Structure 1
Amino acid sequence: MTTPSVVHVVLVRWKPDADAAALQELTELASAFPDTIQGVLAVHCGANTSPEGLAGGFEWALIVSFASSAARDDYLPHPAHQPVAQLISRFAEQVVVFDVDA
Structure 2
Amino acid sequence: MIRHCVFLNFKDDVTEGDKQKHYNQFAALKDIIPGQIADHYGPSASPEGMEHGFTDGFIMDFTDAAARDAYLAHPEHQKAGAALVEACKDGVSGILVFDLEIA
TM interval, short-chain normalised = 0.7 to 0.9
Which segments of 5 or more consecutive residues in structure 2 lack a partner in the other structure?
none
Instruction: Give the aligned partner of residue 26 of structure 1.
Output: 22
Partner amino acid, structure 2, of 1:48: S
Q: Which has the higher helix share?
A: 2
Which segments of 5 or more consecutive residues in structure 1 lack a partner in the other structure?
none
Instruction: Give the aligned partner of residue 100 of structure 1.
Output: 100
TM-score between both structures, scaled by the size of structure 2: 0.84
Q: Which has the higher strand share?
A: 1
* Contact in 2 for aligned 1:27/1:45 (Cα 8 Å): yes
* Contact in 2 for aligned 1:42/1:64 (Cα 8 Å): yes
Give 1:4-19 correspondences, 5 Å limit. Answer: 5-19=1-15
User: How many pairs align?
Assistant: 98
Give the distance between the partners of 1:52 and 1:81, measured in 2 at CA.
32
Kindly state the Cα deviation for residue 66 of structure 1 after the two structures are TM-superposed.
0.4
* Contact in 2 for aligned 1:22/1:87 (Cα 8 Å): no
1:43 aligns with 2:39: yes
Kindly state the Cα deviation for residue 61 of structure 1 after the two structures are TM-superposed.
0.8
Kindly state the Cα deviation for residue 52 of structure 1 after the two structures are TM-superposed.
2.1
Give the distance between the partners of 2:14 and 2:82, measured in 1 at CA.
13
TM-score between both structures, scaled by the size of structure 1: 0.85
Q: What is the percentage of aligned positions where both structures have the same residue?
A: 34
Give 4+ residue runs of structure 1 displaced > 3 Å after superposition: none
Superposition RMSD on alpha carbons, in Å?
A: 1.4
